[in-house]
A = this chain, B = another copy of it.
Amino acid sequence: MEVKDNVDNQTDIQEEEKGKEAERARWYTDTILQSELADYSPVKGCMVIRPYGYALWEQIQKALDQMIKDTGHSNAYFPMLIPESFMTKEKDHVEGFAPECAVVTHGGGKKLEEPLIVRPTSETIINYMFAKWVQSWRDLPLLINQWANVVRWEMRTRMFLRTTEFLWQEGHTAHATAAEAEEEAQRMLGVYKDFAENWMALPVLTGEKTETERFAGAVRTYSIEAMMRDAKALQAGTSHFLGQNFAKAFEIRFQQAEGGLEYAWQTSWGVSTRLVGAIILGHGDEKGLILPPRLAPIQIVIVPIYKSDAEKATVLERCDQVYNTLKPIARVHLDRREQYTPGWKFNHWEQKGVPVRINIGPKDVAANVVEIARRDTGEKMRGVQMDGLEKQLEQLLSTVQASIFERALAFRKENTRQIADYADFKSIMEEKNGFVEAHWCGKTACEASIKEETKATIRVIPFDWKAVDGKCIRCGTATDKRVVLAKAY
């Protein structure tokens, strides 16, 4: 079979170019492959999500799905293949997505009368259905979410961060008023922030995107932006206020309570398997992954240590006991494999980012204690009493969760700078990365030349920032508007 492994091909090329970035890219790929989160696939730009990576995605899905349901949304499923004519209904939308589409031209051995697009996102097909379902103000708000795969033909792909096919959830809602839709768009951004900070242990900035970075078809796009360990930004989720753009394109009109017909006001919002990339890049270190306990597929791993058969029996008996004690309070795994040494297992589970490891040897059994090792700090606690182990581990998992969040927050603080001078800005972007808070006049031309000259982009116009007089970092025009800039994944 003459098929090449296709994800990250582009990255390999990039790697030859630059030292530090290349090293970082190699670390990222190696970590994914060695921890068995994912593998290359023979399909251009697509990866295979392996069981360990998929288990992490399942934890993400489970927590987020509950948050989406708790805010009143219902899951549904819409066709993946969308008639080409649908894509052209909303002018900006088609311009944005047409270059990225995969097109089905043949089905059942025949050429199709109308080609079908593999969904790059589902606004068009979902809003076609909304037009059928929404007749009266009583049908609103309509709050739908879909978990699905989507395809966007990307030129440069990287596992989890940007793959041709990826998994995501996409929320689509319709409301009676602009204010309600706006509130919904911000509510869901808030859900994403909550999820990123309290589950992924990654602090995020929230704010509006500039026109350049806006979703194709939206009136306003909001995003959450996290800082990775190399001080670059990663957009981790977006929420869009769509106004009446799609409602007009698809004729979603409703009888108002007060009489008269009105177009619905809408939102859409989504996060994807990119979140796995955010966790890898946002917490990992030279040893591999560091997973936040609340999302780790395995929270505690138990490694038995013995030499003789007699030792093996007593040690494994104790390991089973500890396993059964911890099972009700954590996702625990006992590594019984005989073909690997304890040392090999230590490295293995560190690479896989398991938050807490328990080592048990014959002396521990005799003294009725265990040894506990934290993945995040490397700290070891020897001689931990068996008595009350459950409580202690429950506490430790919370501590680790809080601790890696604090570490990420402190790191972001260290790497966030207020800069007024463009030369300073350029050298920061060359040498250190990080977030830069700076004034911007609001002109697309300035934004574009900053990107051209430094590769930095405006990540967000933060919510609720006070007006402060200053000058645009690029052109010097007086303005009181500030933004956050960074180089981004």
Taking a contact as CB atoms under 8 Å apart, the answer to whether A82 and B144 are in contact is no
Q: Report the bound CA distance from A101 to B41 in whole Å.
A: 21
**Residues A3-59 near B (CB distance < 8 A):** 3, 39, 41-43, 46-51, 53-55, 57-58
Q: Report the bound CA distance from A1 to B251 in whole Å.
A: 10
Taking a contact as CB atoms under 8 Å apart, the answer to whether A39 and B132 are in contact is yes
Taking a contact as CB atoms under 8 Å apart, the answer to whether B109 and A99 are in contact is yes
Taking a contact as CB atoms under 8 Å apart, the answer to whether B109 and A42 are in contact is no
Taking a contact as CB atoms under 8 Å apart, the answer to whether B43 and A81 are in contact is yes
Taking a contact as CB atoms under 8 Å apart, the answer to whether A105 and B108 are in contact is no
Residues of chain B contacted by A388 (CB below 8 angstroms) = none
Residues of chain B contacted by A107 (CB below 8 angstroms) = 101-103, 153, 164
Binds B, one of A70-78, A320-328, A363-371, A377-385: A70-78
- Taking a contact as CB atoms closer than 8 A, the residue among B77, B108, B339 that contacts A49 in the complex is B77
Residues of chain B contacted by A48 (CB below 8 angstroms) = 76-79, 129
Taking a contact as CB atoms under 8 Å apart, the answer to whether A155 and B108 are in contact is yes
CB of A80 closer than 8 Å to a CB of B = yes
Q: Report the bound CA distance from A21 to B131 in whole Å.
A: 33
Taking a contact as CB atoms under 8 Å apart, the answer to whether B104 and A43 are in contact is no
Interface size class of chain A, counting residues whose CB lies under 8 Å from the partner chain: 35 or more
Given A74-B51, A74-B55, A106-B102, A79 and B118 contact (CB-CB distance below 8 Å): no
CB of A98 closer than 8 Å to a CB of B = yes
Taking a contact as CB atoms under 8 Å apart, the answer to whether B39 and A151 are in contact is no
CB of A128 closer than 8 Å to a CB of B = yes
Taking a contact as CB atoms under 8 Å apart, the answer to whether A54 and B77 are in contact is yes
Taking a contact as CB atoms under 8 Å apart, the answer to whether B78 and A41 are in contact is yes
Residues of chain B contacted by A74 (CB below 8 angstroms) = 51, 54-55
CB of A437 closer than 8 Å to a CB of B = no
Residues of chain B contacted by A79 (CB below 8 angstroms) = 41, 43, 46-48, 165
CB of A358 closer than 8 Å to a CB of B = no
Given contacts A1-B128, A51-B144, 11 further A-B contacts (CB under 8 A): A3-B83, A42-B128, A51-B74, A51-B75, A53-B76, A54-B77, A55-B74, A57-B77, A102-B107, A107-B153, A107-B164
Top 7 closest pairs, chain A to chain B, by CB: A108-B153, A51-B74, A46-B79, A49-B77, A103-B106, A43-B79, A107-B153
| Listed A/B pairs (11) with beta-carbon separation below 8 Å | A1-B85, A1-B86, A41-B129, A42-B128, A43-B82, A51-B75, A81-B102, A101-B108, A103-B106, A104-B104, A149-B149
Give chain A's interface residues, CB within 8 Å of chain B: 1, 3, 39, 41-43, 46-51, 53-55, 57-58, 74-83, 85-86, 89, 98-109, 115-116, 118, 125, 128-129, 132-133, 138, 144, 148-149, 151, 153, 155, 164-165, 167, 250, 339
